[in-house]
Amino acid sequence: MTKLNGKVIAGKVLVRPSEADEKTAGGLYIPDSAKDSPLQGEVVLVGSALKDQNIEVKTGDKVMYGKYAGTELNIENTKYLLISHNDILYVF
């Protein structure tokens, strides 16, 4: 992973989404038009905490987030998702 220049504003988390599955459990290939966007990824950058808020994730954590969470960004030819800390549903 390359080191990103810059920082994330308070209360936000920058996530690199996982790749969508290429084929089903039965071995059928999924066309690009039918793939669902993944709902999990790896935390790349974490902004500082807002007032009266604890940041419970750190760089490198794997997280799950809501289907309509965040804003897609393209930074240095890599797709990222900028989400609110509150949109993170699960950390594993």
pLDDT of 26-48, one tens digit each?
A: 777 766 666 666 799 999 999 99
Please report the pLDDT score of residue 33 as a whole number: 63
Residues of the chain scoring pLDDT < 50:
none
Q: What is the C-alpha separation between 57 and 20, in angstroms, rounded? A: 23
Q: What is the pLDDT of residue 41?
A: 95
| Two tokens, residue 86 | 């509150």
Q: Where are the domains of the chain?
A: 12-19+31-91
Question: Could you write out the DSSP letters of every residue in 10-32?
Answer: TTEEEEEEPPPPSB-TTSPBPPG
User: What is the Cα–Cα distance from 74 to 51, expressed in whole angstroms?
Assistant: 29
CATH numeric code, 12-19+31-91 = 2.30.33.40
